Amino acid sequence: MTPLRFLCCGWEVSPAKGGVSPHYGRYIDPEGAKFEVSMSSGETLLNGRRAWHKIPEFHIQITTYLGEF
C-alpha cells in the first residue's frame, strides 16, 4: 500500500505520482490466505502527519475472499 496522502478533506491511499497502483495493500498470510488492506481518515482539515494524533478516527478496511480457499 502506498503511504497515506492528504487529499481535499482527509487522508487516503492514493497512487504514487504518475502511477496507477491500487488503493490498497496486499498481504498473504503463512497459510496462503490473501487479504487487501486499505486505510483512510475521517473528514479532517489536519493535513500534516505530525497532527495524526489529533484526528479522531481512521478507518481500516481488510478484505478477504473466502471462496479462494
Q: Is residue 2 very low, low, confident or very high in pLDDT (cuts 50, 70, 90)?
A: confident
Per-residue model confidence as pLDDT tens digits over 9-63: 899 887 666 666 667 888 889 988 899 999 999 999 999 999 999 999 999 999 9
Q: Which amino acid is at 1?
A: M
**Cell numbers 480457499 label which residue?**
69
Give Cβ neighbours of residue 33 (< 8 Å, ≥ 6 apart): 64, 68, 69
